[in-house]
Amino acid sequence: MGARCKLCGGEASYHLDHAGMSLCSECFTRYYERKVYKTIRKHGMLRGARRVAAAVSGGKDSVALIGVLHKLMREAFREVELVAIHVDLGIPGYSEECRRIVEKVCGDLGLELHVLDLREAEGYGVPDFANTPFRKRMCGACGTVKRYHTNRMAYELGADRLATGHNLDDVVEILFELYLKGAVEEIVRMRPVSWSDHPKLVTRIKPLIELTDRENLFYVLARGLPLLEARCPLVGESRMLRRKKLIEEIEGAIPGFRHTFYKTHLKRFLPRLEKTVEEPRLAECEVCGMPSLGRVCSYCKLVSKLRKAGARSPRPRA
Ligand code: AMP
Ligand code: ZN
């Protein structure tokens, strides 16, 4: 006989390793939604919010994100409006599939979706970075592009929050690397909410920060949301994936490792670091006018490398 659900005694579908319990599909869905609700309340993520832009890549995490936010905003945060945004990165054989999933999930939920097609709007796609000095750091370049455009889209849509699907595994993987390097200025930025007082930088929230990779996958399956099967052809066997595997091994030997690591960071280190590390002052980029640490923002620097490499004239926006 299969395992029984710890909450209702029905047939269990999912086993949560870190919590040591099995749940049926219905109880799991309730557990998941309650956990996201509590994370949002605990960190005041939606306090005073009117419009949330959810960044949806098509991957399981952000599909789970849009699914759970859509539900919570109908039930608990009724005063908040939800819109979805997607950046089509122009990666052949992959981006089409991501976009199809995003359009399907937003269509099924009846959500307003805004898509930025990089090739159409900016005249280049992420693969074009292969002809620039960023060829060895394609994921880093892609990350800059995604951060810039999701913020820009959220800002132009008048959103006061930008929600991303970063989960516990992502955050622990990044923290692991940052603590190893002692990158204090970056460690201090790893928060559930990145409050912004710059008018063009939208406050970022991570409502799934306490949920694991597996839990997000379960939620997508339990709700019958579409699941992306394609993998980005540009990623390869990255250091990030190797670190994630290593963390899984540690979790096997020390159950609850990820939760403990994250909580220690949040409760013990962050409050002390916040007192000593100064927030960088943001100016406006001379080229595009968006927030920037230096005279020219990292996105405009990236795009200028494309232009030097002779890619199809990327268009800077005024
Ligand atoms: P990643 O950096 O790919 O791990 O993605 C982290 C989060 O960024 C995702 O959960 C999404 O919320 C957002 N994101 C990533 N790629 C895209 C995209 N192409 N369009 C919109 N949002 C994205
Ligand atoms: Zn710029």
Atom 16 of ligand 1 has which residue's CA nearest to it?
57
Phi, psi (deg, nearest 5) at residue 125:
-125, 165
Residue 318's pLDDT is 47
Q: Could you tell me the distance, in angstroms and rounded to a whole number, from the CA of residue 87 to the centre of ligand 1? A: 8
Q: What is the rounded average pLDDT of the residues 3-10?
A: 92
Q: What is the mean pLDDT of residues 181-208?
A: 96
**Ligand 1 nearest atom to the CA of residue 54, by list position:** 12
At residue 11, what are phi and psi to the nearest 5 degrees? -75, 125
Does any ligand 1 atom lie closer than 6 A to the CB of residue 87?
Answer: yes
* Closest ligand by atom to 296 CA: 2
pLDDT digits (tens, 9 = 90+) for 216-265: 999 999 999 999 999 999 887 667 788 888 999 999 999 899 999 999 99
Distances (CA, A) of 218 to 86, 138, 185, 225, 262: 23, 30, 34, 10, 21
Using the predicted structure, report yes or no on whether residue 153 has a pLDDT greater than 90.
Answer: yes
Ion ligand 2: residue ranges with CB closer than 5 A: 285, 287-288, 297, 300
Is the distance from the beta carbon of residue 57 to the nearest atom of ligand 1 less than 6 Å? yes
Per-residue model confidence (pLDDT) at position 241: 80
The more confident residue out of 295 and 1 is: 295
C-alpha of residue 23 to centroid of ligand 1, in Å: 29
4 three-state secondary structure = strand
- Give the confidence band of 316 by pLDDT, cuts at 50, 70, 90: low
Does residue 1 carry a pLDDT above 80? no
State how far the Cα of 15 lies from the Cα of 215, in Å rounded to an integer: 10
| Closest among 214, 196, 213, 212 to 204, alpha carbons compared | 196
Distance CA(247)–CA(39), nearest Å, equals 23
Cβ atoms 193, 43 nearer than 8 A = yes
Our CA dihedral for 274, 189, 39, 246, rounded to 10 degrees, sits at -120
pLDDT at 307: 84
In sequence order, what are the beta bridge partners of 229? Answer: none
- Ligand 1 contacts CB of residue 146 (under 6 A): yes
Task: State the pLDDT at residue 254.
Answer: 92
Let me know: does 187 contact 269? Beta carbons within 8 Å.
Answer: yes
Does residue 93 contact residue 125 with C-beta atoms inside 8 Å?
Answer: no
Put residue 279 in one of left, alpha, beta given phi > 0 → left and psi -120 to 50 → alpha: beta
For residues 50 and 62, is the Cβ–Cβ distance under 8 A?
Answer: no
Hunting for tokens 């990292």 — which residue is that? 298
Q: Compute, in angstroms, the gap from residue 299 CA to the centroid of ligand 2.
A: 6
Sign of the CA dihedral 145, 147, 150, 153? negative
Instruction: Report whether pLDDT(14) > 50.
Output: yes
pLDDT score at 18: 77
pLDDT at 27 over 70: yes
Say what the pLDDT of residue 2 is: 79
Residue nearest to atom 18 of ligand 1 (CA): 57
* Nearest CA, atom 4, ligand 1: 166
Distance 163 CA to ligand 1 centre (A): 10
Is residue 63's pLDDT more than 90?
A: yes
Residue with CA at minimum distance from ligand 1 atom 17: 57
